């Protein structure tokens, strides 16, 4: 009973702390301004855009009055007529030009461009830079969180596996995660893939579930990471599911795509391109579903917090913070739900690929 109360208390404390930091971040952005007064709605929109984007440094919080940022820089790795390796602190949060091996680089709208010592950028008619973009393999905030999540999963499940060597009952944190693993095996993998073939897909299904779930949870912390709200990340996850599905496909899978049995020949020519299109729509749906839900959650939550500074009274502010707190609780459910849906659909696609059909029936 005490442990359940402690978990609830810590969860609420973290959420309140997160809301407080997010609100402070918006307040700093709004109060910064220039000599000319800027529209508060524009400031809030810029703050939201800053929150959902990846960055080349990891900032915990900022004091804009003193122009100080508390966090740490990350390594920038570029390939541009050679290897360039330097700290993101050289950009000074996009305010200065970074020099490396005689070449100069500028950070513009969270992208790196080659420029001159003055930081000159040439813009086209759409205000997009035409400068050369080097190949960018930098360790950004999102990449760092992916590494941290991978290391956390490795430590967690290696420890869980070792605990079974001491007895049939898991110990430590494994007691919480073991029922989830059993659920994925018995309620997702087995019924959708089949009793004889589900085992070889279990490592991927377990990995993708906990990977997405942990990253979703990290996105709700004061760290302000938005990894699964990045379409490049969800695209990578979806393409892995797509590749596994296609390489797992048996003759029945491909036959039901290109020459569906039991269907009149003229209809086969009509259905074949539709089925082939569905092969690519499935991973696209995986990618968009995860990206859109997580991104929307971050945008809506930050927008509601921004209403505090639009209303500028205690009634509107209190209602906005209460609504934001309630939405944060809902986001905890969404974090697990999106991981579950991604895993379930991946298992369904694998099951379609390996399913055996009895044409006589």
For 53-79, the pLDDT digits (tens) are 788 888 776 665 666 767 788 899 999
pLDDT of 360 > 80? The answer is no
Q: What is the mean pLDDT of residues 136-145?
A: 91
Residue closest to 59 by CA, chosen among 107, 92, 23: 92
Calpha distance 85→301 (Å, rounded): 36
Q: Which domain holds residue 121?
A: 75-138
Same domain, 181 and 262: yes
Residue closest to 253 by CA, chosen among 354, 346, 344: 354
Q: 10 Å Cβ neighbour count for 161?
A: 11
Same domain, 160 and 242: yes
Calpha distance 129→347 (Å, rounded): 43
pLDDT of 322 > 90? The answer is no
The region, left, alpha or beta by phi > 0 then psi within -120 to 50, assigned to residue 72 is beta
The pLDDT value given to residue 94: 77
Same domain, 113 and 259: no
The pLDDT value given to residue 345: 95
The pLDDT value given to residue 108: 85
Residue of 4 and 154 predicted with greater confidence = 154
Select from 121, 138, 155 the last residue of a domain: 138
Same domain, 133 and 153: no
Q: 271-307 pLDDT, tens per residue?
A: 888 888 988 999 999 999 999 998 888 888 777 777 7
Q: How far is the CA of 239 from the CAs of 45, 197, 245, 349, in angstroms? A: 32, 21, 10, 12
Select from 83, 106, 138 the last residue of a domain: 138
Residue 33 structure tokens: 């301004």
Same domain, 209 and 312: yes
Q: What is the mean pLDDT of residues 349-354?
A: 90
Q: 225-259 pLDDT, tens per residue?
A: 889 988 999 999 999 999 999 998 888 888 888 88
Q: 81-99 pLDDT, tens per residue?
A: 889 999 888 888 778 888 8
Same domain, 157 and 226: yes
Calpha distance 16→220 (Å, rounded): 11
Residue of 44 and 22 predicted with greater confidence = 44
Task: Flag whether 21 is in a domain.
Answer: no
Calpha distance 318→327 (Å, rounded): 14
Same domain, 215 and 155: yes
Task: Flag whether 110 is in a domain.
Answer: yes
pTM of the predicted structure, to 2 decimals: 0.81
Task: Flag whether 350 is in a domain.
Answer: yes
The pLDDT value given to residue 63: 63
SS3 166: coil
Same domain, 128 and 171: no
DSSP letter at 114 equals E
Q: Report the domain count for the chain.
A: 2
Helices 202-218 & 141-163 angle (0-180, nearest 10): 130
The pLDDT value given to residue 31: 41
Task: Flag whether 56 is in a domain.
Answer: no
Quick one: CA dihedral 164, 170, 172, 175, positive or negative?
positive
Same domain, 93 and 149: no
Same domain, 116 and 176: no
Task: Flag whether 347 is in a domain.
Answer: yes
Q: What is the mean pLDDT of the chain?
A: 80
Q: What is the mean pLDDT of residues 38-46?
A: 69
Distance of CA 225 to the CA centre of its chain: 8
Helices 40-52 & 265-311 angle (0-180, nearest 10): 130
Task: Flag whether 291 is in a domain.
Answer: yes
Q: 143-185 pLDDT, tens per residue?
A: 999 999 999 999 988 888 888 777 777 777 778 888 999 999 9
The pLDDT value given to residue 222: 73
Select from 105, 122, 138 the last residue of a domain: 138
pLDDT of 10 > 50? The answer is no
The pLDDT value given to residue 64: 59
Considering 37-41, 197-201, 313-317, the range whose residues carry the highest mean pLDDT is: 197-201
Q: What is the mean pLDDT of residues 17-40?
A: 43
Same domain, 312 and 209: yes
Residue 271 structure tokens: 């259905």
Confidence of residue 18 (pLDDT cuts 50, 70, 90): very low
The pLDDT value given to residue 65: 62
Task: Flag whether 222 is in a domain.
Answer: yes
Confidence of residue 208 (pLDDT cuts 50, 70, 90): very high
Same domain, 250 and 287: yes
Q: How far is the CA of 181 from the CAs of 126, 171, 178, in angstroms? A: 50, 15, 5
Beta-carbon contacts of 137 under 8 Å, excluding residues fewer than 6 positions away, are 77, 78, 79
Q: Are 91 and 99 in contact (CB under 8 A)?
A: no
pLDDT of 211 > 80? The answer is yes
pLDDT of 218 > 70? The answer is yes
DSSP letter at 221 equals S
Task: Flag whether 10 is in a domain.
Answer: no
């Amino acid at each position: 009973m005490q442990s359940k109360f402690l978990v609830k208390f810590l969860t609420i404390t973290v959420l309140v702390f997160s809301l407080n930091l997010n609100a402070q971040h918006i307040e700093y952005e709004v109060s910064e301004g220039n000599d000319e007064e800027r529209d508060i709605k524009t400031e809030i929109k810029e703050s939201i855009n800053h929150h959902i984007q990846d960055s080349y440094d990891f900032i915990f919080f900022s004091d804009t009055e003193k122009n100080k940022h508390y966090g740490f820089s990350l390594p920038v790795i570029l390939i541009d007529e050679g290897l360039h390796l330097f700290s993101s602190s050289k950009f000074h949060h996009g305010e200065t030009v970074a020099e490396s091996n005689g070449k100069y680089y500028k950070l513009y709208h969270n992208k790196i461009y080659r420029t001159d010592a003055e930081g000159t950028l040439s813009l086209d008619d759409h205000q997009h830079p035409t400068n050369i973009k080097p190949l960018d393999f930098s360790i950004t905030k999102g990449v760092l969180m992916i590494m941290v999540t991978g290391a956390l999963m490795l430590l967690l499940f290696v420890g869980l596996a070792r605990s079974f060597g001491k007895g049939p009952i898991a110990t430590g944190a494994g007691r919480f995660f073991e029922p989830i693993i059993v659920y994925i095996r018995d309620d997702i993998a087995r019924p959708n893939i089949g009793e004889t073939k589900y085992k070889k897909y279990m490592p991927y299904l377990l990995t993708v579930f906990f990977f997405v779930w942990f990253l979703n949870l990290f996105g709700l912390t004061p760290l302000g990471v938005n990894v699964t709200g990045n379409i490049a990340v969800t695209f990578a996850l979806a393409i892995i599911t797509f590749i596994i599905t296609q390489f797992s496909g048996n003759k029945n899978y491909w036959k039901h795509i290109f020459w569906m049995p039991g269907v009149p020949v003229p209809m086969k020519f009509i259905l074949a391109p539709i089925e082939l299109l569905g092969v690519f729509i499935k991973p696209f749906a995986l990618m968009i579903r995860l990206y859109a839900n997580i991104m929307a959650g971050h945008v809506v939550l930050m927008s509601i917090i921004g209403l505090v500074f639009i209303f500028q009274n205690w009634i509107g502010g209190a209602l906005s913070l209460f609504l934001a707190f309630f939405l944060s609780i809902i986001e905890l459910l969404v974090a697990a739900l999106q991981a579950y849906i991604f895993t379930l659909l991946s298992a369904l696609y694998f099951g379609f690929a390996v399913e055996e059909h009895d044409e006589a029936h």
